[in-house]
Structure 1
Amino acid sequence: MGMDHIRGLRGGLLALTLAGGLLLTGCGGGADGSRASDGAAKSRTGGTGRPAPVPRPGTSQGERPGEETGDSDRDAAPSPDHLSTFALDVDTASYGYARRTLADGRLPDPATVRPEEFVNSFRQNYERPEGNGFSVTVDGARTDAEDWSLVRVGLATREERHEGERAPAALTFVVDVSGSMAEPGRLDLAKDSLGVMTDRLRDDDAVALVAFSDEAETVLPMTRLGGHRDRVHAAVRRLEPQSSTDLGEGVRTGYDTAVEGLREGATNRVVLLSDALANTGDMDADSILERVSDARREHGITLFGVGVGSDYGDALMERLADKGDGHTTYVSDDEEARKVFCEELPRNIDLTARDAKAQVAFDPATVETFRLVGYDDRQVADEDFRDDRVDGGEVGPGHTVTALYAVRTRPGASGHLATASVRWLDPADRTPHEESGRLEAASLGADLWRASPGLQVAAVAAYFADDLRRGDDRRPALPARPSLGRLADRADRLATVAQDEEVRRLAEAVRRAERLRG
């Protein structure tokens, strides 16, 4: 898998968003509404989910090397094939943890900053397909750097179904009760959130509860909620902080409990709530991850990781979710916790696509070089795009996904610029399908900061993450990156126009980073 940020024109593409049908009654979803307008032209195609063509290898197109004339040229080196491929995946934990760290008066460790998770923390208003699968939207706008543009590739799944239309859920909550979880905003937050979940799940849903510190215990076996909510509440109330953290034992016991309580026809998930700071027992990430991977392959049980705490094992939680075909997020207060358990977790219940992968083909006649923003760990070999044995991402309804590229066009470029394709398997019968969208060079005429609000928000988030990763020589700055002060001003204006509190919080985080930079 992997290229680094710019290893030429290879890169992985497309962000996804994990989605899903409403799991909780009474929980309202929100989107930040971003219409493509103001001159950032686009190409769309609705997700009819046409059957996929016969598998064929990825294409390869030659390109002559470009000349290095400045910092922007170092952002990407020419590649022989102009293809960018990766498995769909969307997490938001990196952005949430960065906000928490900045609020505590510290700059986040650059190693914990993943730009795609910043970008995908803001939902977009892309057109949606009617059935399973995706619609594809491709647009872009010019930056202040000569011949450099930002190109946005957006995916959207169908709208969420009504609460009664989804399959029942079988959720195994694996809760960290180690001593570090005694800090305010950790175990207390988890218990409050589980209480909310218990009251709002359906009667035909089922819940199991595993607690772990230096040992792991199944506090509650898989229990249908109809007539048993008091029993679940009592089990949650008994959770109290104990001693050290054997995360490996917690994960193993959680998956064993999930397998024992496996429900045919239901969506089976393990939900891990932890600061992911393992300090005893099996601390080898690979052996812990193998248990997660086995359960995914054999039983289809996937993982949803919820991180808490001012100190947080970001890398381990991220790897666990990737191995478990899952999703990670991070919460630091009651408001965020309720959003996660009322909105994000429900979107992981239903499925609209399995093993989803995306590929962008840039036209060498118009594109000199490009750089994918983020997705460093989700790369797929170009020739594996149509190999359905290669693992992709599981995606549910109600979500959007955004991937940004910094693209340097050739002088005077005109005509076709890029084609973005997404491939997935039907969740019921695993039939492969594909959908594509195209972008023409003429569509890049607008200035970035006069483009659609959604593209501007994505750009602010990406530039912000890029600044926080400053100092990593492997990741040169994105072209035309504004100062933190200018980014905060733009976010403030966008929040005012859209009346969007999530974008307002983005502006606040950027201003905190500016003050800490001095």
Structure 2
Amino acid sequence: MERRNARAARRTGARFPAAVAALLAAGLAVTGCAASGDGSNADRGVREGGRTAPAVPDGGRTGTERPREGEQRSPVPAPDYLSTFALDVDTASYGYARRTLAEGRLPDPSTVRPEEFVNSFRPDYPRPADNGFSVTVDGARTGRDGWSLVRVGLATRGADRAAERPPAALTFVVDVSGSMGEPGRLDLVKESLVLLADQLRDDDSIALVTFSAEAETRLPMTRVGAARGRIREVVDALGTSSSTNVEAGVRTGYDVAVEGHRKGATNRVVLLSDALANTGATEARTILTRIEEERRAYGITLFGVGVGSEYGDAFMEQLADKGDGQTTYVGNSAQARKVFMDQLPAHVELRARDAKAQVAFDRRTVEKFRLVGYENREVADEDFRDDRVDGGEVGAGHTVTALYAVKTRPGATGPVATATVRWLDPATRAPHERSGAVATGALTGDVWGAGHDSLQLTAITAYFADALRGGDLPGDPGLAALADRAGAIADRSGSAVVRELADAVRQAHGLRGPDEGPREGPSKEGELRSGDPYS
């Protein structure tokens, strides 16, 4: 995260932090992920009324510049407003918020990341035939004075047969400190590890490191086929003791991962912890440099799995971000099964490296826009096609959704937005791009009308997360209405995960008290600022 924040600060005029809202959902085959607004837009020509020169949407390059050899590039759209971000498939924020609400507490607003609410669900976007992305752009009116929701949906091809994917070399770093003795922590981690071991192939490899006050290697990198019984014995013997030295665990874990590195395999460190560091280096900053070094030198990435009613969310998110990986959260056995039998195996099979998206809004039809979420994934517009600037890793069968609140100009017709995704092939690192677009004619329906369950679910999760953060996303119908609409979708679909969403929104409504009703914030001086909560 620090690296991305530094990139954002380098751009001219990055004076406004990106605005955030939320999306979420996890099982109606209607997922999404959010994007982050470009805080520099106000200084790079993105203002109303044509008072300044327009920005160039492809990161500052001109349409006449030739692509590098072997590079596939989408056509450069007309000059317009830009929003650029690295793709993200984290889900920890939503899982932790659900647990907090179930315990009768509102989550700390700082732990609510809307895009992670969205990534918890998987919309039924078309899937590509190759290793790249499909791009779907749709939307509908909110019924609030010209405001629409525009959704950018990206999807990868599903997982290959197990025999066809590259082998995996996974180093598990397990927190066995005293705080992990609480029910739902180490016991859940042990259950999860056994589940995963049963899913892996014989030619995959596993290592296991534990940490409390100090770190200990319990199992060096070992081929699974010859050691399934040994793996279970090591996991069963885990118990808690002493304090939490995350630094020692992460450092030792990466040492073991480097020593057991397998060329041609997916090499990953999986950290399972409540992330409540109290011994050694207790700030993520001091650990991040080592993660960065090993990621670049060996391609070792980090997958963070959080547990516990008290959880160091920001600490874990920073570690995974620096490790070019993802975070998730498990609070019960059902969630553990989903993560270790579905999510982690999918992460083992990569479809894209350093994936970024850039959404270009047409100034002729768009008056204002606001991106929901992704502050920590912000990328400078000019870095979109700089492949030295890292993006996000995306695995097989993943979906990523970016949701925007867009106010169109009265009476304007024509193109609204062009979304382009850029990624590197996992094997060859060759760059590729693919684009999709939406026009005003596609925004005539009502988001809450019949036949829009997928888009409605994305909207519900975005508004839900925004409310938990105390935001003011245009067209917000209030928590009570959101709960009713989520419940109606659950009734129609029979989806248990959407029912869980409806329950979480009702719990939040009960804790927050009466809604203030639909809201729409005023614009500030006519400027289009993604960092302004009303733009």
Range of TM-score over shorter length: 0.7 to 0.9
**Which has the larger displacement, 312-321 or 444-453?**
444-453
Contact 1:246–1:282 (Cα < 8 Å) also in 2: yes
Task: Report the equivalent of 2:520.
Answer: none
Task: Report the equivalent of 1:515.
Answer: 510
Contact 1:268–1:300 (Cα < 8 Å) also in 2: yes
Query: Helix, strand or coil for the counterpart of 1:143?
Result: strand
1:32 and 2:28 are equivalent in the alignment? yes
Deviation string for 1:280-313 (max 9, x for gaps)? 1111311111111111001001111000000000
State how 1:196-211 maps to structure 2 within 5 Å. 196-211=195-210
Q: How far off is 1:65 after superposition? A: 5.3
Contact 2:175–2:212 (Cα < 8 Å) also in 1: yes
Task: Report the equivalent of 2:281.
Answer: 282
1:352 and 2:348 are equivalent in the alignment? no
Q: How far off is 1:64 after superposition? A: 2.9
| Distance verdict in 2 for CA 1:12–1:202, change over 3 Å | farther
Count how many residue pairs are aligned between Structure 1 and Structure 2: 465
Task: Report the equivalent of 2:426.
Answer: 427
Contact 1:11–1:83 (Cα < 8 Å) also in 2: no
**Which has the larger displacement, 300-309 or 161-170?**
161-170
Query: Helix, strand or coil for the counterpart of 1:117?
Result: helix
Query: Helix, strand or coil for the counterpart of 2:465?
Result: helix
Aligned-residue identity in percent:
64
CA distance in 1, matches of 2:474, 2:188: 40
CA distance in 2, matches of 1:189, 1:166: 28
Deviation string for 1:435-459 (max 9, x for gaps)? 0001101111000101521110000
CA distance in 2, matches of 1:452, 1:400: 18
Q: How far off is 1:162 after superposition? A: 1.1
Provide structure 1 residue ranges, at least 5 long, that are not aligned to the other structure.
Answer: 18-29, 37-58, 68-79, 471-475
Amino acid at match of 2:503: E
Task: Report the equivalent of 2:326.
Answer: 327
CA distance in 2, matches of 1:126, 1:61: 33
CA distance in 1, matches of 2:22, 2:297: 27
Contact 1:14–1:154 (Cα < 8 Å) also in 2: no
| Distance verdict in 2 for CA 1:10–1:333, change over 3 Å | closer
Task: Report the equivalent of 2:481.
Answer: 486
Query: Helix, strand or coil for the counterpart of 1:479?
Result: coil
Q: How far off is 1:268 after superposition? A: 0.8
Task: Report the equivalent of 2:175.
Answer: 176
State how 1:3-14 maps to structure 2 within 5 Å. none
Deviation string for 1:459-486 (max 9, x for gaps)? 000000011011xxxxx40012112111
Amino acid at match of 2:28: D
Task: Report the equivalent of 2:453.
Answer: 453
Task: Report the equivalent of 2:469.
Answer: 469
Task: Report the equivalent of 2:85.
Answer: 86
CA distance in 1, matches of 2:142, 2:411: 16
| Distance verdict in 2 for CA 1:13–1:356, change over 3 Å | farther
Deviation string for 1:83-104 (max 9, x for gaps)? 0001111200000000000011
Q: How far off is 1:515 after superposition? A: 1.2
1:254 and 2:238 are equivalent in the alignment? no
Task: Report the equivalent of 1:381.
Answer: 380
| Distance verdict in 2 for CA 1:201–1:394, change over 3 Å | same
Query: Helix, strand or coil for the counterpart of 1:144?
Result: strand
1:221 and 2:217 are equivalent in the alignment? no
Moved over 6 A (4+): 7-10, 12-17
CA distance in 2, matches of 1:66, 1:419: 20
**Which has the larger displacement, 90-99 or 193-202?**
193-202
Task: Report the equivalent of 2:435.
Answer: 436
Amino acid at match of 2:271: L
Contact 1:367–1:407 (Cα < 8 Å) also in 2: yes
Q: How far off is 1:426 after superposition? A: 1.0
CA distance in 2, matches of 1:312, 1:14: 22
Task: Report the equivalent of 1:393.
Answer: 392
Deviation string for 1:395-443 (max 9, x for gaps)? 1111111110000111111001110000111111111110000110111
1:505 and 2:489 are equivalent in the alignment? no
Q: How far off is 1:13 after superposition? A: 11
CA distance in 1, matches of 2:293, 2:339: 27
Task: Report the equivalent of 1:56.
Answer: none
Contact 1:173–1:208 (Cα < 8 Å) also in 2: yes
Task: Report the equivalent of 1:195.
Answer: 194
Q: How far off is 1:81 after superposition? A: 5.4
Task: Report the equivalent of 1:46.
Answer: none
Amino acid at match of 1:494: I
Contact 1:90–1:401 (Cα < 8 Å) also in 2: yes
2:48 maps to which of 64, 76, 82: 64
Task: Report the equivalent of 2:154.
Answer: 155
CA distance in 1, matches of 2:124, 2:182: 38
CA distance in 2, matches of 1:286, 1:246: 14
Query: Helix, strand or coil for the counterpart of 1:123?
Result: coil
Q: How far off is 1:163 after superposition? A: 1.4
Q: How far off is 1:200 after superposition? A: 2.5
CA distance in 2, matches of 1:213, 1:303: 19
Query: Helix, strand or coil for the counterpart of 2:261?
Result: coil
| Distance verdict in 2 for CA 1:513–1:436, change over 3 Å | same
Amino acid at match of 1:506: L
Amino acid at match of 2:29: G
Amino acid at match of 1:211: T
| Distance verdict in 2 for CA 1:358–1:35, change over 3 Å | closer
CA distance in 2, matches of 1:240, 1:291: 28
Deviation string for 1:330-385 (max 9, x for gaps)? 00001111111000101110111111110000000000111100001111110111
Amino acid at match of 2:435: S
Contact 2:31–2:458 (Cα < 8 Å) also in 1: no
